[in-house]
Amino acid sequence: GAVVSQHPSRVICKSGTSVKIECRSLDFQATTMFWYRQFPKQSLMLMATSNEGSKATYEQGVEKDKFLINHASLTLSTLTVTSAHPEDSSFYICSARDGRALDYGYTFGSGTRLTVV
Amino acid sequence: TQLLKQSPQFLSIQEGENLTVYCNSSSVFSSLQWYRQEPGEGPVLLVTVVTGGEVKKLKRLTFQFGDARKDSSLHITAAQPGDTGLYLCAGGETSGSRLTFGEGTQLTVNP
């Protein structure tokens, strides 16, 4: 089945620094990938839709300059949290869908636990 | 904005009991998916339903899509501790489009 690899799985950074999270589709091409944020015991909140070769579409309330998304190839999207602060600490998850799949489901990465100290 | 209301949000039961989780919306979805997520991991797809009235079974799990394609349910028979996790329903407007997630149901099955 489709596999989405997300890296790193955990990162601790100092306040004010930037952190880059990678999301790769390993065995399929994904023109669109999605980035979510999840707080403990809560559901996934869509942050943005990453589009290969064009600008990402951000959800209302998500700061574009804070969460930079780059989708430079059909298999890689990156999310950069710039000038991170403790309130950015969260679980970030990406997903993509293999267009060849018969079901409508999306494959999710294993997530990145970001802790800003 | 399409919303999915999921209930209950928390459920703690004993091994062997049955349970049902509901996912309701006022909007029509082209497909509805159920995912299960364990702590520190991404959600894993359990099933997709696309046809109104559709029923799918996955071992002890039974999924149903409402006739009007606005609601869905997940029924687990004889729950086991390994069923513990966060269950999420998600609706898709069209194939390949963004998903709308329900609030999730945190299930704990006690041995």
Q: How does the average pLDDT of chain A come out, rounded?
A: 93
Which residues of A lie closer than 8 Å to B, measured between beta carbons? 4, 6, 32, 34, 41-46, 49, 91, 93, 95, 97, 99, 103-111, 113
Cβ contacts of B40 on chain A, cutoff 8 Å: 91, 110-111, 113
Residue with tokens 């339903």: B49
Nearest chain B CA: its distance from A111 CA (Å): 6
- B45-51 long-range Cβ contacts below 8 angstroms, 24+ apart: B45/A103, B45/A105, B45/A106, B45/A107, B46/B74, B48/A103, B48/A104, B48/A105, B50/A104
A6-56 tens-digit pLDDT:
999 999 999 999 999 999 999 899 889 999 999 988 899 999 999 888 899
**Confidence band of B97 (pLDDT split at 50, 70, 90):** confident
User: CA-to-CA distance for A105 and B97, rounded, in angstroms?
Assistant: 11
Q: What is the distance in angstroms between the Cα of B45 and the nearest Cα belonging to chain A?
A: 6
Evaluate whether B74 touches B60 at the Cβ level (below 8 Å): no
CB contact under 8 A, A106 and B33: yes
Contacts of B42 in chain A (CB under 8 A): 4, 6, 93, 95, 108-111
Q: How many CB atoms lie within 10 A of CB B24?
A: 16
For residues B67-106, one letter each, b for 16 or more C-beta atoms within 10 angstroms of the residue's C-beta and e for the rest, the string is eebbbbbbbbeebeeebbbbbbbbbbeeeebbbbbbbbbb
Bigger pLDDT: B45 or A101?
Answer: B45
Distance from CA of B92 to the nearest CA of A (A): 8
User: Which of the four pLDDT bands, split at 50, 70 and 90, describes residue B2?
Assistant: low
Contact state of B48 with A108 under an 8 Å Cβ cutoff: no
Which residues of chain A have a CB within 8 Å of the CB of B108?
A: none
Question: For chain B, what is the mean pLDDT?
Answer: 93
* Chain mean position to CA A87: 17
